[in-house]
Amino acid sequence: MSLYKQIIEDAKQAMIKKEEPRLTVIKGVKATFANELLSKKGAPQTELNDEDALAILRRLVKQRKDSIEQFGKGGRQDLVDNEQAELEILEKYLPAQMNESEVTKIAEKKKTELGITDKKKTGVLMSAIMKELKGKADGAMVKKVVEEIL
């Protein structure tokens, strides 16, 4: 089952089970999917492919993390808790994230493969690693690993 269809099905289940917080988050995801479908030019589509759906979910997760950080700085623990609950629901749809040691191995391999020896090529190395990982690791963690190995 595609990710798009899975989310539609989960929305139905959340309605049936009356899971309010989960339903609210999934409705937001569905609305974002609908907006994305409308904004796409070219052939009309009825559903998003998994790659587009994952990109949207990653964007929503990043928004939640940014909100948590900002609300934390502002001393609004109630809003932090709400955003954290939404973040946990969204993260269930993302593929399992790699740990730092796995990312380090890939980064070392790419560094050797590309022959990068100085910090001036950090962007090139980051780009190559992110393309290989395809969303399986957080960009901030990849950046940290790259800075450590250069």
Question: What are the chain's domains?
Answer: 3-91 (1.10.1510.10), 100-149 (1.10.10)
- The model's pLDDT over 50-93, given as tens digits with 9 standing for 90+, comes to 888 888 998 999 999 999 999 999 999 999 999 999 999 999 99
Predicted pLDDT at 136:
79
Query: Is residue 17's pLDDT more than 90?
Result: yes
pLDDT tens for each residue of 109-131: 888 888 888 788 888 888 888 88
The helix (H) or strand (E) run that includes residue 113 is helix 100-114
Cα-flanking dihedrals φ and ψ of residue 144, to 5°?
-60, -45
Tell me the whole-structure pTM to 2 decimals. 0.74
Residue closest to 28 by CA, chosen among 95, 85, 96: 85
- Can you tell me whether residue 134 is helix, strand or coil? coil
Whether residue 74 contacts residue 23, with contact meaning beta carbons closer than 8 Å, is answered with no
pLDDT of residue 45: 65
| 142 Cβ contact list (under 8 Å, min separation 6) | 103, 107, 126, 129, 130, 133
Measured from the Cβ of residue 85, the count of other Cβ atoms closer than 10 Å reads 14
Q: What is the band of 48 on the pLDDT scale with cuts at 50, 70, 90?
A: confident
